[in-house]
Amino acid sequence: MKKTLTSAATVRVAFVSLVSLGMLVPMYLLVVNAFKSQQEILANPFSPSFGTATFQYLADAWNNPDFSILKGYGVTIALVLCVNALAMAVCAPAAYVLARTPKPISRLLLFFFVAGMFIPTQVILVPVIFVLRGIGLMGTLPGLILFMTATTIPFTLFVFFGYIRVLPRSLDEAAAIDGAGRYRTLWRIILPLMRPIVATVFILNSLSVWNDFASPQMILGPGSGVYTVTTGVYAAVGQYSTDYTKVFPTLLLAVIPILVIFVVMQRHIMSGLAAGAVKG
Amino acid sequence: MERTSVSKPRAWRDLGARVSMVVPAVLVYVALLVVPVIYAIYYSFTEYNGFPHRVPEFVGLDNYRTMFGSDDITGTMVVTAVVAVVGAVAVNLAALGLALLLRRTNRFNTFGRVVMFYPHVLSALVVGFLWQAILGPQGVVNTMLEKAGTDSLPFLSDPDWALWSMILVIVWSLFGVQLILYLAGLQAVPADLLEAARIDGASRWQTFRAVTWPSLASTVTVAVITSGISLLKTYDVVVSLTGGGPAGSTKTLAYSILAVSFPQRDIGLASAQAVLLIVAAAVLAITVLVLRRRAEDDAESIG
């Protein structure tokens, strides 16, 4: 009995290790080959090149005239912050009111919003272009921010709603007796209690905004000259996908910040995802 | 009498505050998500090239006829369906299997979870380019095969291979998310039932069949369908991994909309394709809602 158990455990560990290896090898290749010349990559993709390693290709990718990675980081971080701020600014009050509204009306409105979670956003980008053109925001960052905010509203609102609904109403009533209006109650009483869910929503929305490619590609377009990390990578690597001295360094520079953040905040990101999914 | 005249303005003020708190969210959501869907439906019945001074011309069901009559576009429907169905099943099988193996929390398992989850934080575009450098004709794998003296394998260059290679890449990058969801679901499996099964001498498989699976079943259904919905709109990885080729073998509907119909200024056709995808997503979404409602009812009747 004891023996079969341990051998089962060995198989389990071996299998998990094997899968983990399969997950890590692409990242290993990305790191190792970012420091090699094309000939070295083609000759020996797996071996690290301690002797001949050079930062030249990373520097070239960093100084790429088509796409400044530093600017790409800046634009994308600005997008992440603006979309989060705007989405929370509109969703927190709405979720609060819905959570405190009698059932039939709030259920109906909530359903109206939740339905948006299932709209495939890439697919409606074509009509979105015409809407943005109509309000004069096509090809601009504010237009992109507005659209990305709209795509995050259903999830944000739904999760906020679920969280606020279980906060005791007696808190509101106490505030009302003290003469606080709705805004004041939300700002002083409810929002401070929402810190954990705000963190979860921030993480999940940030990931989806950071990694979105279709929306910035279609809304900003190459004409605007504004690149996010993803559209910049596409501009820098798209046509040169067999020039590995461009591909590996550019991709490495594009993923470093998000990987560093992930490694530092890994526990929060993964538990936030689980919490968000259970609520969602 | 006196009381109502005092409380009425306050009630009105409160109503005003409530409305003003909901309106901004409604406005942004309607303007940029609901209106575009309505536009997509409207354009799908018109012939329109998108130039500002042109007016969409009503053509009835022509775009839908074109869509279902074109081998190219029905091909993209098949590809999309295969990606969504096979991808969703494979992602969830991998995720559930590994969740069962990584169930206990110890250092080794935590490491495994992190390693399997990390591709989720990379954008699908980057994942596609990275795997293109690994599986491409001159990629890492084929370089190694040539060095070993064997023929290279046409992962991305043979129409019969490319779609499966793409699904493999999708599974690699996505199953970590479902893994986390299943790990959360496994926490909810009643520990006393597992304990009872162990005491009764049930085998691992029997325990899984009789205890774990039933309490996980609704999670599984919902996870499979939600991953299917998100795979319906596969676009980024197509752009970077295969560009829809070879010979259109990896061209999904979303790719066809954004990279073919739209650049060809065929807004009517692009919109008809969009409507088709929205309907497909809606059907799957309603299935989720019904199943979830049923699962909730079940849970209530048990608990």
Domains, chain A, ranges and CATH?
A: 62-279 (1.10.3720.10)
Nearest C-alpha in A relative to B252? A123
Mutate to test the interface with B, among A117, A122, A250 (most CBs of B within 10 A): A122
Q: Is the Cβ pair B18, A97 closer than 8 Å?
A: yes
- A-chain CB neighbours of B285 within 8 Å are 115, 117-118
Res A276: pLDDT: 64
Mean pLDDT, range A111-139, rounded to an integer:
90
In this complex, which of A26, A242, A244 lies closest to B131 when CB atoms are compared? A26
Q: How far is CA A274 from CA A200, A201, A269, B187, B189, in A?
A: 10, 12, 9, 11, 15
Res B299: pLDDT: 59
Mutate to test the interface with B, among A270, A273, A278, A279 (most CBs of B within 10 A): A270
Distance CA B81, CA B67 (A): 16
B5 pLDDT exceeds 50? Answer: no
Listed by start position, the domains of chain B span 63-302
What does the pLDDT look like over B276-299, one tens digit per residue? Answer: 999 999 998 888 778 777 766 665
Mean pLDDT, range A105-130, rounded to an integer:
89
Nearest C-alpha in B relative to A259? B121
Distance CA B32, CA B20 (A): 19
Three-state SS at B47: strand
- A-chain CB neighbours of B117 within 8 Å are 266, 270
- To 5 degrees, how large is the angle CA A90–CA A91–CA A95? 130
Mean pLDDT, range A139-155, rounded to an integer:
94
In this complex, which of A116, A128, A135 lies closest to B29 when CB atoms are compared? A116
Distance CA A255, CA A242 (A): 19
Q: Count CA atoms closer than 13 A to A104's CA, side-chain side.
A: 0
Does residue A85 belong to the interface with chain B, where contact is any CB pair within 8 Å?
no
Res A64: pLDDT: 83
Q: Are A88 and A68 in contact (CB under 8 A)?
A: no
In this complex, which of A27, A135, A218 lies closest to B258 when CB atoms are compared? A218
What does the pLDDT look like over A193-223, one tens digit per residue? Answer: 999 889 889 988 998 999 999 999 999 987 7
Q: Which region among A140-149, A222-231, B113-122, B233-242 has the lowest average model confidence (pLDDT)?
A: A222-231
Q: Is the Cβ pair B21, A182 closer than 8 Å?
A: yes
DSSP 8-state symbol, B260? I
Q: A 50-79 residues with CB below 8 A of B?
A: none
Res B1: pLDDT: 41
Give strand pairing partners of B47. Answer: B57
Mean pLDDT, range A34-48, rounded to an integer:
84
Tell me the count of A-B CB pairs closer than 8 A.
249
Does residue A269 belong to the interface with chain B, where contact is any CB pair within 8 Å?
yes
Does residue A167 belong to the interface with chain B, where contact is any CB pair within 8 Å?
no
Mean pLDDT, range B168-187, rounded to an integer:
91
Alpha helices in chain B (DSSP H): 2-29, 35-43, 62-69, 71-101, 107-117, 124-135, 140-147, 159-187, 191-199, 204-207, 213-232, 236-241, 253-256, 267-302
Please report which confidence band the pLDDT of residue B4 belongs to, taking 50, 70 and 90 as the band edges: very low
Mutate to test the interface with A, among B10, B96, B126, B172 (most CBs of A within 10 A): B126
B149 pLDDT exceeds 90? Answer: no
Question: What's B63-302's CATH class?
Answer: mainly alpha
Question: What distance in Å separates residue B35's CA from the closest CA in chain A?
Answer: 8
Query: How many H-runs (helices) and E-runs (strands) does chain A carry?
Result: 14, 0
Q: What share of chain A is helix, strand, coil (3-state, %, to 5)?
A: 80, 0, 20
What are the residues whose beta carbons fall under 8 Å from the beta carbon of B42, sequence distance 6 or more? B56, B271
State how far Cα A213 lies from the chain centre.
11
Q: Are A159 and A204 in contact (CB under 8 A)?
A: no
B302 pLDDT exceeds 60? Answer: no
B85 pLDDT exceeds 90? Answer: yes
| Per-residue tokens: A183 | 């805004």
Q: Is the Cβ pair B123, A262 closer than 8 Å?
A: no
